[in-house]
Amino acid sequence: MSTYDYIIVGAGTAGCTLAHRLSAGGTHSVLLLEHGQDDRMWILQMPAGLRSAFKPTSKYNYWFKTTPQAHLNNREIDQPRGKALGGSSAINGMTFLRGNPRDYDDWASEEGCTGWSFADCLPYFKKFEGSDRPADAFRSPDGPVGVQRQDALNPLNAAFLEAGQEAGHDLTDDVNGFQQEGVSRFEMSVQGGYRSTSARAFLHKQPKRDNLTVVTRAQVLRVLLEGDRAVGVEYARGREVQVAKAKREVVLCAGAFGTPHLLMLSGIGPADQLKAQGIPVLVDAPQLGENLHDHLEAHVQVETDKPVSLNRYLKPHLMVWAGMQWFGWKGGVAAVNQCHVGAFLRSGPEITHPDIQFHFFPILFGPNWIPDPAKNGYRLGAGPMRPTSRGTVKLASADPAKAPLIDPNYLATDHDWHVMRQGLKFGRELLAQPAFKDFHVREDLPGDHVKTDADWDDFIREDASSAYHPCGTARMGADGDSRAVVDLELNFKGVAGLRVVDASVIPAVPSANINACVFMIAEKAADIILGKQPLPPEHVDYYRAV
């Protein structure tokens, strides 16, 4: 048994950030436990290695499945999660988006999360961000997480930006700055040809510290309690079970699925679920595992007869050349991600801020997101940004090796169906603009036969998939909020010495990919945990359509 000031469970986006911040200065001893392995191998460091890491057989991926989804023809939807240092930042699509400033202002005003407005969060976004854009009121080039924009665009990406304007949408200069709404170049969490993971930014690029211990291949089995206080964890490495004690806090950073799962295995959670699995109830937390929500996407895809899409790089000799460029000088097509442009739109004029997102890919995909080397084309993913459907994470077994039951309950509301339909209609309209005329041979998905709302609904039931942004299962909230699992300083309610810092605390999903949001939460949480004065709020004006 060993003792540390802080034990962090999960070395993902939040866990690596916290490990660095809590151990800085050498005052506190920190243990960082990760179930996966080290991430320093080319397949996770090369941006184009995404396709190899992001598949069911990858050892760097949990590849969870949802329960059969009632509104999606009872399909089980893939829910991949990273299993290595860096967590899901080591396997995600690297699209770097903060969300709309209004999202965070709504956290404070609509969700009761005082202290988490955009003005409160902005300095923490800037703290971790190392943007290739000049510093301004919104952006910072000084942080450890490299962020860049692809300015030299593929012809299809350039056509997308032109088509968006032809369809009547604004061209916005900085999607993470003053105006999110419109079509824009997206940014990527890539720097110098390397994927910008939390592990690279906050572990590997930092000086080695004697007070930070990182243990990989460590499966945490349970949080240990003495009375109503968390005092440590029990974890397994191979067949050996070890105990680590925390003098100050246990901090859970295991994610929207892993955190509620581990707590329930520890006897903390909804009493009925624990009893059903024969787990003694130590703390009844009925809201743990509730409020699960996620972004869903469906797709419009078009085939072209021009060799302009990324499919052409799948020819063996070009794949070899791309590899040589990356291994040689971290350049070429393998040194960047695949989504360089997109859009944020409103489903109607009364909507306060964009509730539809487009990801545009200059690639023709086959089943299971496998590109077809014999064809060329492009795909647009569209989906609701602020879904009203809510699901759950529940225990399937008392065995820690068994995955939890993940039920996002996708498209359970008329609102979500409406926004999904609107997004796909807007997407088809955009791809039909004159800018794409020379690239259009036929619509591959959904196909010309889809015309009515009923047709769209049938297509959505068969095509829609997760955009991989699950959150909300240990919801943050003020005292007296019956929905809240953690308080506004991310302390677990009812258990001293236990904090949650990951996507599970998000009260309402931001209107964008959520990796940047989780970095921000971890940066803000580090100051809270260390008792530091929070960074002063930065009040900036931002675009408001309504």
For residue 20, give the H/E element and its range.
helix 13-23
Beta bridge partners of 365: 371
Alpha-carbon distance of 341 to 360, in angstroms, equals 6
Alpha-carbon distance of 197 to 338, in angstroms, equals 17
Which candidate in 28, 353, 469, 539 is catalytic? 469
**Kindly report the CA angle at 245 between 239 and 248, in degrees rounded to 5?**
150
Residues 6+ apart with CB under 8 A from 24: none
Residues 6+ apart with CB under 8 A from 332: 321, 322, 325, 326
Residues 6+ apart with CB under 8 A from 31: 2, 4, 6, 7, 8, 213, 215, 244
**Is 522 in contact with 500 (CB distance < 8 Å)?**
no
Instruction: Please provide residue 383's backbone torsions phi and psi, each rounded to the nearest 5 degrees.
Output: -170, 165
**Is 52 in contact with 58 (CB distance < 8 Å)?**
yes
Residue 61 per-residue DSSP state: B
Helix, strand, coil percent content, the chain, rounded in steps of 5: 30, 25, 45
**Is 524 in contact with 103 (CB distance < 8 Å)?**
no
Alpha-carbon distance of 284 to 307, in angstroms, equals 59
Tokens coding 362: 């200059």
Going 311 to 316 to 321 to 326, the CA torsion angle's sign is positive
Alpha-carbon distance of 145 to 169, in angstroms, equals 31
For residue 299, give the H/E element and its range.
strand 296-304
Residue 299 among the catalytic residues: no
Alpha-carbon distance values, 477 to 100, 109, 513 (Å) = 20, 12, 22
Catalogue the active-site residues: 469
